[in-house]
Amino acid sequence: MTNYLKFYDLEGYLFDEVGPQFRKAGVLDPVDFFMIFIWKANRGKTTVRDRLKNRAAGSFEKAVGQIAASLSATDGQKERLQVLMHSSRLKLPMPSAILTVLYPEEFTVYDSRVCKELGFEYRPQREFSNALWADYERYRGAVINATPASVSLLRDKDRFLWGRSLRKDAERHFKL
């Protein structure tokens, strides 16, 4: 019997079960892949799903299988982002979220809220390029450098900045 309680903490489920299972076996369940869309951008989940379906002859399951196989056969961070962006034709925030779930020690979510915290211009590009990779590396470095040393995991650094931004927004609204 499935323990549905684990889905309530979707981020915990993705990082504690989905990511480790992918790193171990190199496969992704299509429903779990869809849950990454829900976690990153719930309002756009069906748009993202349909975009992938259209890239794989109308089959989301086939698209997920192709993506999983390509990612597990690819070494290197730059190459993984390139493969995912090319195969999905999604804007940078979603591929970065997918890769963050699958490789949390190497990737961080490219997010408008975190960009604002870091003083970066938010540019959610769809086409992979060397310039995009260089910008993403600068972004990832800034995420690392803008957080206290006591926050050691890359995913926690990302969450720290997102949380700080959320708090600042709430404080601004409280003062209105």
Distance CA 46, CA 98 (A): 16
pTM (2 decimals)?
0.93
Tell me the per-residue pLDDT of 6-23, one tens digit each, with 9 for 90 and over.
Answer: 999 999 999 999 999 999
CA pair distance 158, 40, nearest whole angstrom: 13
Q: Which two tokens stand for residue 131?
A: 């310039």
Query: pLDDT tens digits for 84-100?
Result: 999 888 899 999 999 99
Placement of tokens 């997010």 in the chain: 111
pLDDT band at 176 (very low <50, low <70, confident <90, very high): low
Alpha carbon distance 139, 75 (integer Å) = 21
Q: What is the pLDDT of residues 19-56, one digit of tens each?
A: 999 999 999 999 999 999 999 988 888 888 888 888 77
The structural domain count of the chain equals 1
Boundaries of domain holding 66: 4-175
Question: Percent of the chain having pLDDT more than 70?
Answer: 98
